Amino acid sequence: MTNFSRQTGLFGKLRQWVTTTPDRALDKAYEAALEIRQIEADYFDGQPISKGDGNYSSSAYRLLQKDLDKYLGIIKRQMTAFKASSSVLPVNTGQLDTPLPDDVPVNQISGPAIFFSKLQLVDETLEKYRQPSTFAVPAFALNQLQTRPLTGLAKSEKPGITTEDTANEALTSRSSVLPRSILRTVDRIKQDLDPDAETEVVRNFRMSKTQTTVAITFVLQLVIVPLLAQYLSKNFIVHPIVAQVRNETQAEIFLNSEMEEEALHELQQYEERLRFEVLLGKTPEIGEREIEGQVRQKAALIEEEYRDRSADAVNNVFADAIAVITFSLLLTNCKEKVATLKAFIDEIVYGLSDSAKAFLIILFTDTFVGFHSPHGWEVLLEGMANHLGLPANRNFIFLFIATFPVILDTVFKYWIFRYLNRISPSAVATYKNMNE
């Protein structure tokens, strides 16, 4: 009887949860709409969130855009659930006898009024931001702007101004009569004379500090989390399974012929060194049978060593695959943090001087596609092959060295010609002078 009552209680709770799905979805959408209203009241004087309203830095706008996109996504998902569930489940909306007063909070209205007030606020929020006029520039506009040189940014070299910000500025200034530099000067004077300028500076600093903290934390996550996943999975999951399978199947000692050749060469060197020391008198004279016994002991040690190396290589394959999957999941599930990190890197890169940019370009090109880079690629590929227990195929390594750095060099030169030359031509000129 007790089990029956428990099952009845569980089914009752489940039925109650299902039947309240429309109300629950509407409540979550309403809370997200209230968050958007709060952002409008705090930063835009109750106006819609738009880059044209308010004087904030690009970093501050990105953070506000992240919050807006997050809450709009919540509203859209919850309203989709509300529409789907309300089509099959009854929704008790009641009847409204009088229109809702605008100045009365929702929690002080009757039940039916609350329902329609929430629905009205959510619909108004979605309608308000349905037009693509908040932050984002249309893709076709950015493509058109990228085909023409952005001379304003190249001359000013403002740190923290990205290509997208310059595109937005170019789009908004096409219909302007005065030059953009004069308008920027006037805006700066207005900001300096604004009595709330100090508050805005503090707010922008906090936004920038938040962006820096998020970016650095995310970089540490991208490094530490995959390494930790690789270490833990290798030692506590993969290693016991691989060891058990290899013991049950009596797997081969050597994974490839190169490992076998290394073991034979090591054993041969040991035997020759032992005979050489006997001939020089450094060790007491021993018979052929004793030499054979010592060589047999050394062979057993070499066998155990290479068996462990083979097992470790198999462990590395699966553990590295888990680390790569973890890294990919971090990138796909943290798109907002990826965008913040990209904006942070853009601000650092575009904030560097021309000589610093040229120095980094030369360092990168000489390391990966320079005259001495083939030796580094060869060491890297051989080390990776040994790590995964694969034979270091010389033909493949030489073919890779002959093609991949050339392709990388071509792509890098195209990037300099196509993008960097239009964004920062002075940095390209400095790079050419330093490279000569």
DSSP 181-197: HHHHHHHHHHHHH-TTH
Binned at pLDDT 50, 70 and 90, residue 230 comes out as very high
CA 229 to chain centre: 17
| Residue that wins the pLDDT comparison between 390 and 62 | 390
Instruction: Give the model confidence (pLDDT) of 165-190 as tens digits.
Output: 444 444 444 445 556 667 677 777 77
Confidence of residue 266 (pLDDT cuts 50, 70, 90): very high
pLDDT of residue 344: 87
Q: Which long-range contacts (CB under 8 A, 24 or more apart) does 206-213 make?
A: 207/56, 207/57, 207/59, 207/60, 207/63, 208/57, 208/59, 208/60, 210/63, 211/59, 211/62, 211/63, 211/340, 211/343, 211/344, 212/344
Task: Pick 381 or 19 by higher pLDDT.
Answer: 381
Q: Look up residue 17 and give its amino acid.
A: W
CB 236 within 8 A of CB 243: no
Tell me what the pLDDT averaged over the chain comes to: 77
Helix 111-128 vs helix 58-86: crossing angle, to nearest 10: 130
Give 417's DSSP letter: I
Higher pLDDT, 183 or 254: 254
Structure tokens at 133: 């006029």
Half-sphere exposure of 252 (CA within 13 A, CB side): 8
- The mean pLDDT of 315-340, rounded to a whole number, is 92
Contacts of 182 (CB under 8 A, 6+ apart): none
pLDDT of 332 above 70: yes
CA nearest to 91, candidates 137, 25, 28: 25
Higher pLDDT, 60 or 246: 246
Q: Is the C-alpha dihedral spanning 104, 108, 109, 115 positive or negative? A: positive
Q: How confident is the model at residue 53 (pLDDT cuts 50, 70, 90)?
A: low
Q: Is the per-residue pLDDT at 132 higher than 60?
A: no
pLDDT bin (cut points 50, 70, 90) of residue 113 is low
User: According to the per-residue pLDDT averaged within each range, which of 5-9, 38-42, 224-228, 386-390 is highest?
Assistant: 224-228
Angstrom distance (rounded) from CA 177 to CA 91: 56
Which of 127, 137, 159 has the alpha carbon at shortest distance from 65? 137
pLDDT at 108: 42
Task: Report the pLDDT averaged over residues 299-327.
Answer: 93
Q: Is the dihedral of CA 150, 152, 157, 162 positive or negative?
A: negative
- Tell me which residue of 247, 26, 240, 21 sits closest to 121, measured CA to CA: 26
How far apart CA 21 and CA 29 sit, in angstroms, is 12
Split at pLDDT 50, 70, 90, the class of 106 is very low
Task: Find out whether 206 and 56 touch, Cβ atoms under 8 Å.
Answer: no
Residue 202 has pLDDT above 90, yes or no: no
- CA 136 – CA 125 distance, rounded (Å): 18
- Tokens describing residue 320: 């590295």
How many CA atoms are closer than 13 Å to the CA of 55, on its beta-carbon side? 17
Local confidence band at 200 (pLDDT 50, 70, 90 cut-offs): confident
Q: Which residue has the higher pLDDT, 136 or 74?
A: 74
Q: Which two tokens stand for residue 162?
A: 């990205």
Closest CA to 163 of 188, 191, 141: 141
Higher pLDDT, 204 or 229: 229
Q: What is the mean pLDDT of residues 126-134?
A: 65
Contacts of 408 (CB under 8 A, 6+ apart): 368, 369
CA-to-CA separations, 177 to 167, 174, 180, 184, in angstroms, rounded:
18, 8, 9, 13
Output b/e per residue, 205-239; b: 16+ Cβ within 10 A.
eebbeebeebbeebeeebeeebeebbeebbeeebb
**Sequence-ordered list of residues with C-beta below 8 angstroms from that of 158, at least 6 positions apart, any chain:** 350
pLDDT at 305: 92
Query: Of the ranges 19-33, 55-69, 135-149, 345-359, which one carries the lowest mean pLDDT score?
Result: 135-149
Please answer whether residues 389 and 314 qualify as being in contact, where contact means their C-beta atoms are separated by less than 8 angstroms: yes
Task: Record the tokens describing residue 319, joined without a space.
Answer: 């553990």
Instruction: Quote the tokens at residue 76.
Output: 């859209």
Q: At what angle do helices 197-233 and 288-333 cross, to 10 degrees?
A: 150
Residue 163 confidence (pLDDT)? 42
390 burial (CB, 10 Å; 0-12 / 13-18 / 19+) is middle
- Say what the pLDDT of residue 210 is: 86
Tens digits of per-residue pLDDT, 133-164?
333 333 333 343 343 333 333 333 344 444 44
